[in-house]
């Protein structure tokens, strides 16, 4: 049980034997539902896995793949990005976990996408017991296979979260030279901004930048009445002036946060009578031209 607890609720056949079980005992536990076969020779201890969080489920799935493949398997690409907590990817929804193995060995495991290719030792770390690419290598891999909006959102999230230094980030574009997909993704690195605090902010910024209406500032400071507190606007245009707030899922969707936001909004409009404050949600991204037009009509254009 202790071994499984250290492996996100998983145990291998060999480890079970070491704990005193045999094949007969394993079959009995499988029949009783106390064990669940995940991959050949890898079992989940139901008392430890159960109903967990999405992040916990992903960690268990990756650990299962690594136990089945062996110590050379490393979580890479979008799987590594999710494990690091980078924001911007769609929900996994049961999709495969991505791991890389050196050499040309082939592994056919349900729910696992195995990529052949070595990852340098200095680009791998162990996180929560799982072998995973570093944030920098994770970004280098993931931007090659994702749309621009997702790639830049991941960059922004990693930088905003302090997952890598600015010096390291500056080296990633050139480090990808010669890789498939590098030419298409090369311009995206310059679009990243570490001040963005959500993928929705990133996408609104990209839409406006594409329309030649980039914001003049992000997380723009605004002193509230009394001078004792400061509000920070997501995207700011000096002309107008116009302030755009990104209303995405997360803290702004909680009733208590919405209540505080309304009070902040009223205070801002009182303190800055000429300010035009606009709010956009994920739904507004479906109509990018209308989004830009509304910002322009507010005085930013």
Please give the model's pTM, rounded to 2 decimal places.
0.89
Determine the pLDDT at residue 214: 98
Tell me: do 79 and 171 sit in the same domain.
yes
One digit per residue, the tens of pLDDT, for the chain of length 301 reads: 688 999 999 999 999 999 889 999 999 999 999 999 999 999 999 888 765 544 568 999 999 999 999 989 999 999 999 999 999 998 876 689 999 998 877 888 999 999 988 899 999 999 999 999 999 999 999 999 999 999 999 999 999 999 999 999 999 999 999 999 999 999 999 999 999 999 999 999 999 999 999 999 999 999 877 766 788 899 999 999 999 999 876 544 445 554 456 777 787 888 888 999 999 999 999 999 999 999 999 998 8
Q: What is the rounded end-to-end Cα distance, in angstroms, of the chain?
A: 63
Determine the pLDDT at residue 46: 86
Instruction: Give SS3 for 148.
Output: helix
Tell me: do 81 and 137 sit in the same domain.
yes
Tell me: do 92 and 175 sit in the same domain.
yes
Tell me: do 173 and 257 sit in the same domain.
no
Element (H, E) at 125: strand 124-127
Residue 60 lies in a domain: no
> In the chain, how many domains are there?
3
Identify the burial level of 113 via C-beta atoms within 10 angstroms of its C-beta, where 0-12 means exposed, 13-18 middle and 19 or more buried. Answer: middle
Tell me: do 229 and 122 sit in the same domain.
no
Residues spanned by the domain of 164: 69-191
Tell me: do 142 and 252 sit in the same domain.
no
Tell me: do 75 and 187 sit in the same domain.
yes
Determine the pLDDT at residue 213: 98
Spatial separation of the C-alpha atoms in residues 66 and 63, rounded to whole Å? 5
Tell me: do 154 and 170 sit in the same domain.
yes
Tell me: do 157 and 249 sit in the same domain.
no
Close Cβ partners of 9 (under 8 Å, ≥ 6 residues apart): 44, 45, 48, 49, 60
Within its chain, how far is the Cα of 83 from the centroid? 8
Q: Where are the alpha helices (DSSP H) in 87-165?
A: 135-142, 148-160
Tell me: do 85 and 162 sit in the same domain.
yes
Residue 146 lies in a domain: yes
- Rounded to 5 degrees, what are φ and ψ at 295? -65, -40
The CATH number of the domain holding residue 205 is 3.40.960.10
Residue 159 lies in a domain: yes
> Which domain-ending residue is among 173, 191, 209?
191
Determine the pLDDT at residue 127: 94
Tell me: do 205 and 184 sit in the same domain.
no
């Amino acid at each position: 049980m202790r071994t499984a607890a250290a492996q996100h609720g998983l145990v291998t056949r060999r480890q079970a034997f070491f704990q005193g079980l045999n094949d007969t005992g394993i079959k009995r536990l499988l029949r009783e539902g106390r064990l669940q076969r995940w991959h050949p020779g890898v079992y989940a201890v139901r008392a430890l896995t159960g109903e967990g969080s999405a992040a916990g489920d992903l960690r268990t799935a990756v650990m299962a793949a690594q136990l089945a493949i062996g110590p050379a398997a490393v979580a890479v690409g979008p799987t590594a990005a999710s494990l690091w907590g980078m924001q911007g990817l769609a929900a996994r929804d049961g999709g495969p976990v991505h791991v890389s193995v050196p050499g040309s060995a082939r592994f056919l495991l349900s729910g696992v996408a195995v990529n052949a290719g070595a990852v340098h030792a200095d680009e791998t770390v162990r996180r929560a017991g799982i072998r995973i690419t570093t944030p920098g290598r994770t970004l280098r891999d993931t931007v090659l296979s994702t749309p621009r909006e997702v790639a830049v959102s991941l960059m922004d999230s990693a930088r905003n979260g302090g997952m890598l230094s600015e010096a390291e980030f500056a080296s990633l574009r050139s480090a990808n030279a010669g890789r498939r997909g590098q030419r298409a993704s090369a311009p995206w690195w310059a679009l990243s901004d570490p001040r963005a605090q959500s993928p929705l902010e990133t996408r609104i910024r990209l839409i406006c930048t594409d329309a030649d209406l980039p914001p003049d500032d992000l997380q723009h400071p605004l002193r509230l009445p009394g001078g004792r507190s400061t509000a920070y606007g997501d995207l700011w245009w000096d002309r107008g002036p116009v302030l755009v707030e990104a209303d995405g899922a997360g803290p702004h969707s909680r009733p208590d946060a919405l209540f505080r936001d309304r009070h902040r909004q009223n205070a801002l409009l009182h303190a800055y009578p000429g300010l035009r404050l606009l709010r956009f949600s994920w739904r507004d991204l479906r109509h990018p031209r209308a989004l830009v037009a509304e910002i322009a009509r507010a005085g930013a254009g």
